[in-house]
Amino acid sequence: EVQLVQSGAEVKKPGESLKISCKGSGYSFTSYWIVWVRQMPGKGLEWMGIINPSDSTTRYSPSFQGQVTISADESINTAYLQWSSLKASDIGMYYCARRSGGRTMYAFDIWGQGTMVTVSS
C-alpha cells in the first residue's frame, strides 16, 4: 500500500525547536517530490514548500521562507519539516503529501494523516 505516515502530535513552548517527519512506503520515495501543507485551526490549506527527495532541492512559499526548513533522508524514505524557534502562531495541523507525476499535472495524490503542533507557554 502506498502511504505517507507522519510523526505524532507535539506540544511545545514558544522558542523551542521541533522537527516532524513524514515516512513514505509502498513506492519509490525518490521518484516523487514531497510537499508540506499547513492548516491553522478553523482555516484553509496553505502550501508551505516542496522537496525533491532524490537531491534535496527545495522550494518554499514566500510566507514560510526562513521560518521553516524542509529536508529529506532518502536512505530512510523520510521527509522532515523543522522549526528552530517556534512561535505561538505556528499552531496548526501539518500535512505532508506526495506530488504525483506529470500525467496528473502535479496533483497531490497521497497524503499523510497530519501532525498537530501546539505551541503554548
Partner 1 sequence: DIQMTQSPSSVSASVGDRVTITCRASQVISTWLAWYQEKPGKAPKLLIYAASSLQSGVPSRFSGSGSGTDFTLTISSLQPEDFATYYCQQANSFPYTFGQGTKLEIK
Residues that bind partner 1 (CB under 8 A): 35, 37, 44-47, 49-50, 59-63, 95, 97, 99-100, 103-109, 111-114
CB of 25 to partner 1, least distance (A): 16
Our CB check for partner 1 shows the closer of 80 and 94 to be: 94
Phi, psi of 90 (to 5 degrees): -85, 0
Cell of 116: 498537530
Our CB check for partner 1 shows the closer of 42 and 121 to be: 42
Our CB check for partner 1 shows the closer of 17 and 57 to be: 57
Beta pairing partners, 47: 37
* Residue ranges in 70-111 assigned as alpha helix (H): none
CB of 107 to partner 1, least distance (A): 4
CB of 14 to partner 1, least distance (A): 26
Residues 6+ apart with CB under 8 A from 115: 6, 7, 8, 9, 10, 20, 93, 94, 95
